[in-house]
A = this chain, B = another copy of it.
Amino acid sequence: MATDLCFRYIGSKESHETEMSMDPTTGGVATADDVAKRAGVSRWTVNRAFKPNASISTKSRAKVMAAAEELGYAPDLLAASLASDRSNLVALLIDDFANPHKLQIIEQLTRILRSHGWDTLLVNTLNAADTPSALLAASQRRVDAAVLIGVQFNDQELETALGARRVRKLILFARQSENPNTISICCDDKAAMTTIADYVVGQGYKRPLFVAGPQTTSAHLLRKETFLSRWHHIHTHQPPFVAVSAYDPQLSYQAVADHFRANSDHPDIVVCENDALAMGAIDALRYEFNLNTPNDIAVIGFDDVPQAATPQYQLTTYRQPIVEMVHALVDVLKGTADMATLNQFSGQLVVRTSA
């Protein structure tokens, strides 16, 4: 039920101290009407002047732009959204600021969306139960789409939240989902993880340990399953794995340390679901057991976060084509995307010295 969702409202007027300056000639902010009057044209013409390919004479446009410049006019996107039913606003839902990869995504997403005319509403979702509420908040701003970046959510709740209000497009970025109401923009995780598994086999490692992240039902990575089944396919046995409840290096540190303490037959390689976990693993091995990569043990990650390239990690990892994926998101927003290839991106293995 949507009963417990927290509605946003806009409160009553309050005193505004430290207001910024406004145009004194109009007593407020210039509107298209002001510009129209000054330029001696209709409001609609002013409007047209601000549209890239509207049918308007260059002379009219010049007049309008000159008047707009003098008045400091810029179109009000709020009013435009209200009238047009499109906001050029995208909500970004994110629940984990500790994972450097999410940040790379945010950075590219905000940058590229802005260059294409979309603004970004950043919504910090606290946990899976909070996602519907965040989605509702976004819908109240009439976002053109909501993009979930590895956000934990519950299909059932999502369904309710979606049905209740309009969220035009629900996009899962860098995650796969079978939910038919969502659009996934992601790598072919199976292919990627198979590449890694084959690399591990090819390098002659024999005793892998897999470190997995949260085992969610809704938007999972297929990385663990793929690696384990691929390994099983080749070596006819399933390697051990540990799973942590968040992509947090500290949790990985702890889990790996625990595993090594509990098992005397140490792995020769630790394969991690992503770099955040891999970095925690490397730290644990180094500071708890004095095992260093690559001499004593190997570690492999996924994502190629900036820290992966630093001297203390030199992490072998898999890089997703984030920029391409964001461009695909822009296509989705424009409605020009090829839906068939959206979850088929492929990246590349970046071989450093850790494995």
B10 touches A88 (CB 8 A): yes
In the complex, A5→B75 CA distance in Å? 13
B117 touches A123 (CB 8 A): no
| Distance to closest chain B CB from A181 (angstroms) | 7
B78 touches A87 (CB 8 A): yes
- Return chain B residues, CB-CB under 8 Å to A165: 29, 72, 74
B20 touches A166 (CB 8 A): yes
A75 touches B114 (CB 8 A): no
- Return chain B residues, CB-CB under 8 Å to A124: 107, 110-111, 114
- Return chain B residues, CB-CB under 8 Å to A29: 165-166
A121 touches B119 (CB 8 A): yes
Cβ of A310 within 8 Å of any chain B Cβ, yes or no, is: yes
B86 touches A97 (CB 8 A): no
| Distance to closest chain B CB from A310 (angstroms) | 6
Cβ of A27 within 8 Å of any chain B Cβ, yes or no, is: no
| Distance to closest chain B CB from A323 (angstroms) | 14
Task: Specify the main secondary structure of chain A where it touches its partner.
Answer: loop
A142 touches B76 (CB 8 A): yes
- Return chain B residues, CB-CB under 8 Å to A86: 10-11, 13
Cβ of A137 within 8 Å of any chain B Cβ, yes or no, is: yes
- Size class of the A contact interface (CB-based, 8 Å): 35 or more
B163 touches A72 (CB 8 A): yes
Minimal Cβ-Cβ distance residue in B for A84? B10
User: Which residue of B20, B126, B169, B170 contacts A167 across the interface (Cβ within 8 Å)?
Assistant: B20
- Return chain B residues, CB-CB under 8 Å to A7: 50, 74-75
| Distance to closest chain B CB from A344 (angstroms) | 17
In the complex, A130→B109 CA distance in Å? 17
A78 touches B141 (CB 8 A): yes
Cβ of A2 within 8 Å of any chain B Cβ, yes or no, is: yes
| Distance to closest chain B CB from A142 (angstroms) | 5
- Return chain B residues, CB-CB under 8 Å to A312: 283, 286-287, 312
A19 touches B168 (CB 8 A): yes
A2 touches B72 (CB 8 A): yes
Cβ of A252 within 8 Å of any chain B Cβ, yes or no, is: no
Cβ of A82 within 8 Å of any chain B Cβ, yes or no, is: yes
16 more contacts with CB within 8 A, not counting A8-B75, A18-B183, A89-B141, are: A9-B117, A10-B87, A11-B88, A12-B51, A15-B335, A17-B339, A19-B168, A20-B169, A72-B164, A76-B82, A78-B78, A78-B82, A78-B87, A114-B124, A119-B141, A121-B122
The 5 closest A-B pairs by CB, nearest first: A110-B124, A72-B164, A122-B122, A97-B107, A287-B311
24 A-B pairs with CB atoms under 8 Å apart are A1-B69, A2-B69, A5-B74, A7-B50, A8-B75, A9-B51, A10-B75, A10-B77, A10-B88, A11-B51, A11-B117, A16-B335, A17-B339, A20-B166, A21-B163, A74-B139, A74-B164, A77-B142, A89-B141, A114-B124, A119-B121, A119-B141, A283-B311, A283-B312
